[in-house]
Amino acid sequence: MSCRRFIADLVTANRAVLEGAHAEHLSRVLRARIGQEFEIAAEGRVRRGQIVCITEQRVEFELGEDVAGSASIPVTLYLAVFKFDRMEWAIEKCTELGAAHIVPLICSRTDAHLASAAEKRVERWRRLALQAAEQSRRTAPPEIAAPLRLTREAVACEGARIVLAETERGVMLKDVLEQLPAGRETEGTSLALAIGPEGGWTGAERGMFFQAGWVSASLGSTILRAETAAIAALAVVAAFAAPPPAADN
Domain map of the chain by residue range? 5-66, 75-241
* Confidence at residue 26, expressed as pLDDT on a 0 to 100 scale: 86
* Confidence at residue 249, expressed as pLDDT on a 0 to 100 scale: 45
Which amino acid, 217? Answer: A
pLDDT higher than threshold 80 for residue 203 = yes
* Confidence at 118, pLDDT banded by 50, 70, 90: very high
* Confidence at residue 159, expressed as pLDDT on a 0 to 100 scale: 87
* Confidence at residue 242, expressed as pLDDT on a 0 to 100 scale: 63
Q: Which of 11, 20, 18 is nearest to 42 (CA)?
A: 11
**CATH assignment of 75-241, among 3.40.50.1580, 3.20.20.150, 3.40.1280.10, 3.30.470.10:** 3.40.1280.10
| Residue 16 dihedral angles phi and psi, to the nearest 5° | -135, 150
Q: Over pLDDT 70: what percentage of the chain?
A: 90
pLDDT higher than threshold 80 for residue 89 = yes
The CATH homologous superfamily for domain 5-66 is Hypothetical PUA domain-like; domain 1 (2.40.240.20)
* Confidence at residue 181, expressed as pLDDT on a 0 to 100 scale: 62
pLDDT higher than threshold 80 for residue 71 = no
Q: Which of 65, 47, 64, 50 is nearest to 139 (CA)?
A: 47
Sheet holding 58-66, edge to edge: 5-7, 37-42, 45-54, 58-66, 15-19, 10-12
Q: Which of 1-10, 33-42, 208-217 has the lowest mean pLDDT?
A: 1-10
* Confidence at residue 158, expressed as pLDDT on a 0 to 100 scale: 87
pTM of the model: 0.78
Q: Which one is predicted more confidently, 92 or 31?
A: 92
pLDDT higher than threshold 50 for residue 1 = no
pLDDT higher than threshold 70 for residue 5 = yes
Q: pLDDT of 141-173, one tens digit each?
A: 999 999 999 999 999 998 899 999 988 878 999
